[in-house]
Structure 1
Amino acid sequence: MDSNPWMLSVVASLLQRLVARNERLLSSGKKLSKQNLCVFSATQVPAMSIAKYLERIFKYARCSPSVFVVAYIYIDRLLLNNPNFLLTSLNVHRLLITSVMVAVKFLDDLHYNNGYFAKVGGLTLVEINTLEVEFLFMLRFRLQVTGSVFESYCLYFQREVEMGRDIEIEKSLLFLLEKESDQSCRQDQSNRQRLGIS
């Protein structure tokens, strides 16, 4: 696990674009709802970028690359279930560490506990526990991801890379993408079979 998987750049780029769009909406006069001022909101914008934060999580959590795809799916579901909740620079980091922690618990056989994820995310144990409970309720406890949904997100990520949309990716990444995508999907298929996920 010396190099970061290609999907970290894709997830960071997609989230950054969504945050930028939402903050443009807010600056143009849209009021924050009470739902947006929830436990995920930090008091100030973290100094670390979304991309660096994802790299930190990957480095220290040592979870499988497919976890980041599932974490993104969870964030998508949460936003769909809670249309008044806007992803902003004040809440994206906390939402990310929580979604990755929940995804790793669901997918990976071996993973760290909440206290460890709190340290990785720069939070306290009480905060990460509170965020996890809130996240699960906002997600309506829908954690299962079917193989077809997982595959469609992988293809979506691949198209983002091929189109080069605001993603800082080296030219050699497309080759790595094909190689890693095959390996990751095979590993995820094995995980899904073991967990009884269709």
Structure 2
Amino acid sequence: MAISPRKLRNDVYSYSYQNQSNTPLVISVLASLIQRSLVRNERIGRFMSRRSRYTRIFDSHETPDMTIQSYLERIFKYTKAGPSVYVVAYVYIDRFCRSQPEFRINGRNVHRLLITTIMVASKYVEDMNYRNSYFARVGGITTKEMNSLELGFLFLMNFKMHVNLSVFESYCCHLEREVSIGGGYHIEKTLRCAEEIKSRQTDQDRFTRITL
């Protein structure tokens, strides 16, 4: 499977739902980055004793069994959020982790962090959006939880949600480097796993419910 930085940038700037049937490459790149961060954090997690009670709102009661790739593809499928939304969500995740040094992405919080940042990014980027209740259904949580996650995230970020063009471009470049240098093998592996999962699914068109 050939992947290239150029394809990622083409997806971000010119992806068309009418002309494309494949998932944008940015989703697989983001899934690969987040997965590696998760694995690294869980290796060192036992040495961490301090955690803010404010960031615990992202913790699920149990670790969801849905992969990051599958979860991102589900969000993309049902919300039709454009590829640029996922770049902005990546900016938010990076800012959040930097501003909350005690927070570490792990198996219990990654899904709720993703649905929250993607919803907030969609509101920032897109002209039209679904309601919080719809994002909640897609993400596998209640509307009350979705509202609480959004509000908590905004306050923890001090409502600093603006992403200018130069910042957006710098994160696009980082994602491109991930394709060309750092994570090509991991991304191809992620894509192959995603294709295997798709081949086992028999009811793609029906809205399936999940619970986190």
TM-score by length of 2: 0.76
How far, CA to CA, are the matches of 1:116 and 1:7 in structure 2? 23
Q: Does 1:121 align with 2:160?
A: no
Whether 1:89 aligns to 2:107 is yes
Equivalent residue, structure 2, for 1:61: 79
**Match for 1:166 among 186, 202, 205?**
186
Question: What displacement does 1:26 show?
Answer: 1.2
Change (3 A) 1:37 1:132: closer
1:180 counterpart residue number? none
Asked if 1:147 corresponds to 2:165, the answer is yes
Structure 2 counterpart of 1:184: none
Instruction: Give the CA deviation at 1:34.
Output: 3.3
Structure with more relative contact order (C-alpha pairs < 8 Å, separation 6 or more)? 2
3-state SS in 1 of match to 2:128 = coil
Q: Secondary structure at the match of 1:166?
A: helix
Q: Percent same amino acid among aligned pairs?
A: 48
Give CA-to-partner distance per residue, 1:166-189, whole Å, 9 cap, x none: 21267xxxxxxxxxxxxxxxxxxx
Partner of 1:44: 62
CA RMSD of aligned residues (A): 1.5
Please tell me whether residue 3 in structure 1 is matched to residue 22 in structure 2.
Answer: yes
Unpaired runs of 5+ residues, structure 1, are 171-198
CA deviation string 1:117-147 (max 9, x = no partner): 0000000000000000011011111111010
Q: Number of aligned pairs?
A: 169
The Cα shift of 1:165 comes to 5.0
4+ residue runs of structure 1 moved beyond 2 angstroms? 29-32, 34-37
In the alignment, which of 5, 16, 37 is matched to residue 35 of structure 2?
A: 16
Partner of 2:174: 156
Any unmatched runs of 5+ in structure 2?
A: 1-16, 192-212
What pairs with 1:104-115 in structure 2 (closer than 5 Å)?
A: 104-115=122-133
Instruction: Give 1:36 deviation, angstroms.
Output: 7.3
Amino acid at match of 1:149: V
